[in-house]
Amino acid sequence: MIKNFEDIQQIGKENFDVALKSFSAASKGAQAIAVEVADYSKKALEDSTQALEKLLGAKSIEKAIELQQAYVKEAYEGFVSKATKVSELYADLAKETYKPYEGFFAKVTAK
């Protein structure tokens, strides 16, 4: 009976340690995602402000259309690039959050 209690106590301690490692990984991943999103937002705002200034300074309709097309293309490419980066960060977050549980689950099911 005492052996079983010690086993349960050990599993509880290991579970707590694993959960703590998982939470730490999740926290780091979420922070990295937040930094990426904030950087993108700041850059997108700066780029749109510059594009508007250029657009207002255009001397002809043709030049304004050209500037607008260039801005839309750059904004789209920037968005796709950043979205890809953020999706990779989410995938890494999931992997790193689950990683501490891999060994724990194998150990628990083996007992």
41-85 pLDDT per residue, tens: 999 999 999 999 999 999 999 999 999 999 999 999 999 999 999
Instruction: Write out the residue range of the structural domain in which residue 43 sits.
Output: 2-110
Q: Is the pLDDT of residue 1 over 70?
A: no
From 27, 31, 13, 94, select the one nearest 102 (Cα to Cα): 94
Q: Which two tokens stand for residue 66?
A: 């050209």
The number of folded domains in the chain is 1
How confident is the model over 14-28, as pLDDT tens digits? 888 888 888 999 999
* pTM: predicted TM-score of the whole model, two decimal places: 0.75
CA distances from 54 to 48, 51, 65, 77, 96 (A): 10, 5, 11, 19, 44
